[in-house]
Amino acid sequence: MSVRNILLVEDDERDVEMTLMAFRNHNLVNLVHVVRDGEEALDYLFRRGAYEQRPPGEPCVVLLDIKLPKVSGLDVLAQVRESPDFKFLPIVLLTSSREHTDLVHAYKLGANAFVVKPVKFQEFLAAAQKIGAFWALLNEPLQS
């Protein structure tokens, strides 16, 4: 079985670094591709613009923030779920939002999980390690 990539959609540099640190500390060998806004996430997934020639294959999971520049995470989720190509792509909202309406909206749009980012550094690292281990190592993906 080949190692599949993780797509991290996050505009906060500190959260990107902490997530990558958590994955390294847990010895996840998956390549993590980071994009900084919702538009870039859509370009990556739909192979547009700078990502038109990206290698074949989809990420094993998309870790998606809600509050993103250009296109919100919920709008990214909605557009991705409209495509039959991404019907089974695992998408985890990894967000600082504690808004119940965001939670409900995310699940209605087809999110696989909704994780609120812990504020404390060690708790954030532990949460990111668990998310990465589950989706990259334990989850058995269904291919469309």
For residue 57, the model assigns a pLDDT of 87
- For residue 2, what pLDDT is reported? 60
Per-residue pLDDT of the chain (144 residues; tens, 9 = 90+): 466 789 999 999 999 998 898 888 877 767 899 999 999 999 999 999 999 999 888 999 999 999 999 999 999 999 999 999 999 999 999 888 888 999 999 999 999 999 988 778 788 778 887 877 777 767 777 665
pLDDT at 106: 96
Structure letter (DSSP) for residue 61: E
The pLDDT, as a whole number, for residue 143 is 63
The domain locations on the chain are 6-138
CB 95 within 8 Å of CB 102: yes
In the prediction, which pLDDT does 144 show? 52
Answer whether CATH 3.40.50.2300 is correct for domain 6-138: yes
Phi–psi pair at 81, nearest 5 degrees: -70, -20
Beta-carbon-side half-sphere exposure of residue 122 (alpha carbons within 13 Å):
0
Q: Are 34 and 10 in contact (CB under 8 A)?
A: yes
**What's this model's pTM, rounded to 2 decimal places?**
0.89
Report residue 38 as tokens. Answer: 């919702």
